[in-house]
Chain A
Amino acid sequence: MMTDIQIKAVSKRFAIDRSEILALDDVSLTFPAGSFSALIGPSGCGKSTLLRMIADVIAPSTGSILIGDHPPGKARRSHEIGFVFQSASLLPWRSVIDNVRLPGELSNKQGSRSPEALVDLVGLNGFEEAKPAQLSGGMQQRVAIARALALDPKVLLMDEPFGALDEITRQRMNVELLRIWKETNTTAVLVTHTISEAVFMADTVHVLSAHPGRLAASIAIDLPRPRHLALLQSHAFNALENQVRAALFAKEIASGR
């Protein structure tokens, strides 16, 4: 029932002004079915590029990606992919409920949860008829999550979904997201550039290095679930944060900078 994601020897080159940039160099990874994974790295490490290749927004230059048994194109067309962007990207002329209805309208399909139930799931009951401009950034991102879940996707891809939110809102949203993820049985991949967020959310944190984007380390986060905000103050949490930090700044630490 749950679906894994396999990245096999994927590279991506972009042509920019006649010169070629290697955005991602020979990355192989598996996101196990039903797991929560985080991708972290400096800007230019290709983490968003990797996420967009899984969602079939762009194609790898070499290598292959499988979502369960399906290549990304097929997975996308069978609505197995839910995507949450950094900006909520809601249609401003549609109410909250009509934004959540959009995937169903476009595909003529219905998920197991009704749009009303999804609005309830992300904690926005009472705001069904509000327009996006009337909502705060955090509430808009909740609508975007509800929309991504509308057709029961098997994988939930999130590209810095809370990157534009303030620290306090972000922490609350993270707890909420973990609850939603548990209830929907999706395989979640979160792109982030916040170390504490990656450690708090994920089963495994994959650290990417930049220029070219390479997999530098994969760090298992063996903290118990469900996770609460109190965890942020624990010794084990800080140790794991330091482990991720060490992998992120390996070069700088080695050269004494």
Chain B
Amino acid sequence: MAADAMVGHIGSLVVRRLPPLLLLVAIGLVWEAAKLGGLLPITVPAPGAVWTALIDHGGDLVYHSIATLGAALTGYVAAIAVAAALAGLAVTWPISERPVFTLAILIDSLPLIAVAPILMLWLGNGTTLHVIVAAGAALFPLLVGMIQGFKSTDSTTRELFHVLSASRWQTLTRLMLPNALPAIFSALKVAAPLALLGTLIAEWMGTDRGLGTLIIYALFSFNVPLVWLSILTVCALTAVSYALLAFAEHRLVDWAHPRGTTGGRST
């Protein structure tokens, strides 16, 4: 019985995942053929060439990815901490909400690619710069998501906590925080690729290690397959971060999107 169910589960998974996979393989084959037939410009490599680049430069890719991931992750966590502190301030002390938002909009309206050189003059082109630019890129959606999440608490439920004589801390941790989790996860998912992008931009200012550096290096040495490989790596890292967050959300916030309702009974 259980084995049958298991086979059925895997079967349905294959049925679901197979068509997009086949489509990808087909596109790759057509692409490869087009390149062989001389239909594509020199700036577009064959998938096979990108694959070869992966085998040749696999070690480099890991080396540079680790630097980029480290800076992006540090900046991301720093942005989460700053956004949480600012959101906490804005929610517990409503007068501060407008100034906090104004500051956040100001930071968000600064074009990163233009500000990064100024920051480089101040901080030098090291990890500090990469982390700060990553944090700046990720801050705004995190802050907006957290403030909206905290403020979305239903007024009747707040009255309930008052009647139950809950402390401010209890109201924050048992009501406002869990209630804000869906909005916070949406913000986390939007902010993760932004932190990665911020790091890449900072690395373009010129540094000796990072995926941004690898892209620039490959570009100037006209190693087209390596440019594509670097960009595909960035895409993969973004996708993995999104998948991890979606998984965590699914585990922690299962109540926000219930799958089945028993209904049935009327009273």
Which residues of A are in contact with B by a Cβ distance under 8 Å? Answer: 52, 55-57, 76-77, 79, 81, 83, 85-87, 89, 91-93, 102-103, 105-107, 130-131, 133-136, 138-139, 142, 168-169, 172-173
User: Which of A56, A87, A106, A142 has the most chain B CB within a 10 Å cutoff?
Assistant: A106
Interface size class of B (residues with CB under 8 A): 20 to 34
Assess the A106–B156 pair: CB atoms within 8 A.
Answer: no
Docked pose: A89 CA to B164 CA in angstroms: 13
In the bound complex, residues from chain B placing their C-beta under 8 Å from that of A102 are: 164, 174
Which residues of B are in contact with A by a Cβ distance under 8 Å? Answer: 154, 156-157, 159-166, 170, 174-175, 178, 181, 253, 255-256, 258, 260-263, 265-267
In the bound complex, residues from chain A placing their C-beta under 8 Å from that of B160 are: 83, 85, 89
**CB nearest neighbor in A for B162:** A57
Assess the A169–B156 pair: CB atoms within 8 A.
Answer: no
Docked pose: A133 CA to B163 CA in angstroms: 24
CB B201 to nearest CB in A, in angstroms, measures 38
Extra 5 A-B pairs, beta carbons < 8 Å, given A130-B262, A131-B255, A136-B267: A85-B160, A87-B154, A102-B174, A107-B164, A134-B258
List the 10 closest pairs (A to B, CB-CB), nearest first.
A138-B267, A93-B255, A133-B258, A83-B163, A89-B156, A106-B166, A89-B157, A92-B255, A169-B267, A134-B261
Docked pose: A39 CA to B267 CA in angstroms: 24
Assess the B157–A91 pair: CB atoms within 8 A.
Answer: yes
Docked pose: A11 CA to B154 CA in angstroms: 27
In the bound complex, residues from chain A placing their C-beta under 8 Å from that of B267 are: 136, 138-139, 142, 169, 172-173
CB B41 to nearest CB in A, in angstroms, measures 54
In the bound complex, residues from chain B placing their C-beta under 8 Å from that of A106 are: 161, 164-166, 170, 174
CB A163 to nearest CB in B, in angstroms, measures 13
CB A10 to nearest CB in B, in angstroms, measures 19
Docked pose: A133 CA to B254 CA in angstroms: 11
Docked pose: A83 CA to B161 CA in angstroms: 11
Other-chain contact of A87, B156, B163, B260, B265 (Cβ < 8 Å): B156
In the bound complex, residues from chain B placing their C-beta under 8 Å from that of A131 are: 255, 258
In the bound complex, residues from chain B placing their C-beta under 8 Å from that of A57 are: 159, 162-163
**CB nearest neighbor in B for A131:** B255
